Structure formats: C-alpha cells, structure tokens
Amino acid sequence: MKPERSFRVEAVVLRHADWGEADRLLTLYTRQRGKARAVGKGVRKVKSRKAGHLEPFTRVTLQLARGHDLLIVTDAETIDAYPQLREDLVKTGYASYIIELLDRFTYEEESENSDIFRLLTETLGRLAGEPDAWLAIRYYEMRMLDHLGFRPRLFECANCRKEIKPVAQFFSATQGGVLCPRCGAGLKEVWSVSVDALKYLRHFQRSSYGEAQRARPKPETRNEVEALMQHYITHLLERELNTPGFIRQVKA
C-alpha cells in the first residue's frame, strides 16, 4: 500500500530554522506520527497566513503533504498558542527546557506515542497557567523518563535489589537508580540522596499530577531533587542541555 500523499496531524512546534529565501524548516512532535520535520513554504513573507501558527510551543492542527525529501505544510490552524509562555522570560525558559528535553531524547521516524504528546501538551498548559513551574517540570522529567524507558529505580537498590529503607541513600546514574548504603558507600560518581528528596522522587514517579500537587518540599529539598534529575538526564544524554543555563541567567 502506498503511503497517503496528504494527511492531517495534531502537533506541537518544537523549533524552526530559516530555510531558503522565505521558508522555514520546522521540527514537530505529532500525536499520530511522533517526531517529524516539515517545511513551511513562504512563512517568512510578511503576508503569510501560516506564519503565526508555526511558532515554537504552539499546538496546531496541520495538513501535511509529502514532498520530494520533506513534508510540506499546506494548512495550519492553532489549537493553543500558550501566549503566557511568551510574555514571561522565565516561562519561556521553562517551555524551551521541556521542548529541548523531548527533542534530545527522540528521533524522527519513530512510531506514534500519544502518551508523550499528551504529557507535552499538559505540561505546556501547566507552565502557562501555574505561577510556580517547579512541580510541573519535575513531574514532566520523571514521566518523560518513564515513557522513554529510563525509569530510575527508587524502591529497591539498583545493585543488590534489596528494598530501600527510609535512611539517606546514594544515587548512581550509571546503574540507573538508588543504591543502598552498603552498595553505595565508597563508590566514585555516586550522589548522596536525603530521605526527603527520595520521598518526593518516589511520589512523582507513582502519583497522578493531582496527587503530586500535594507535595510541599522544603527549598533545600527542591534544589536537591532538581540537581539530581539534571545529573541523571545529563548522564543519559551524554551532554548538558542548553536551556538550564539560560533559565539561571534570566532568574539572576
């Protein structure tokens, strides 16, 4: 069966780049087909009707046609532009972070993953509507790792598989989870994990977002959880992300 020449998708625009004299090359994450690239013909022209629908962070419905090498956007309609994400630089930074995280972890031509698409759009909505982004970001990180197959072990030792007790532990990015004091003591490249930080990490891993909203971690616990998640993600990607540094600069 030949692939259809034109089809409709729901997508979030992850990023774009200038292409040719008046076009833009778009990186999309679609509900139906995962990550894809498409060309927006003529969208850099002043009179383009599609340009406003194809900005980063925008949730859209697109009609796509198969070109010689790339998909071509023939029609675009905005579902949600999340304008709050463009009115506040800190919110822009957080939205850019979740986009970069998804972009780095996924590849084109992967199969449909509606769970990731739903997580992405729900998180964009939370960032737009909630004054404090910390919970939305941490929940997104944990759920994204789950969907991508990098779920950290938090309830049993990643080495000996014994149940983790309510005492300070260690975290090994290499082994993909928490190590009990016996397995982690003296090892290089492991992080100490407090009882409070581990409690909230577990809470985010097994709870709905509504349940996770009941969490009230102390500032030092929030910082510890954020640093540990960044450490694990950097290890998995084998490189640092660009957006955390931008967020720190904006906040400063």
Distance of alpha carbon 75 from alpha carbon 18, whole angstroms: 19
Query: Could you tell me if 231 and 170 are in contact, meaning their C-beta atoms sit under 8 angstroms apart?
Result: no
Which residue(s) pair with 27 in the sheet? 15, 37
Q: Domain boundary at 50, 80, 110, which? A: 80
Is the residue at 1 inside a domain? Answer: no
Res. 110 pLDDT band, cuts 50 70 90: low
pLDDT for the residue 192: 93
Res. 46 pLDDT band, cuts 50 70 90: confident
Assign residue 193 the CATH number of its domain: 1.20.1440.120
At residue 28, what is the residue type?
Answer: L
Together in a domain, 59 and 123: no
Together in a domain, 107 and 61: no
Res. 215 pLDDT band, cuts 50 70 90: confident
Mean local confidence (pLDDT), 80-95:
95
Res. 161 pLDDT band, cuts 50 70 90: very high
To the nearest 10 degrees (0 to 180), the angle between helices 134-148 and 195-206 is: 60
Q: Is the pTM value of this prediction over 0.85?
A: yes
Residues spanned by the domain of 64: 6-80
Mean local confidence (pLDDT), 208-234:
95
Beta-carbon contacts of 201 under 8 Å, excluding residues fewer than 6 positions away, are: 142, 152, 154, 225, 228
Q: Domain boundary at 47, 80, 113, which? A: 80
Together in a domain, 126 and 237: yes
In this structure, how many other beta carbons lie within 10 angstroms of the beta carbon of residue 112?
13
Together in a domain, 134 and 61: no
Angle at 192 between CA 135 and CA 97, to 5 degrees: 35
User: Is pLDDT of 198 > 60?
Assistant: yes
Assign residue 35 the CATH number of its domain: 2.40.50.140
In this structure, how many other beta carbons lie within 10 angstroms of the beta carbon of residue 204?
21
Distance of alpha carbon 43 from alpha carbon 51, whole angstroms: 5
Together in a domain, 11 and 51: yes
Mean local confidence (pLDDT), 16-42:
91
Together in a domain, 113 and 59: no
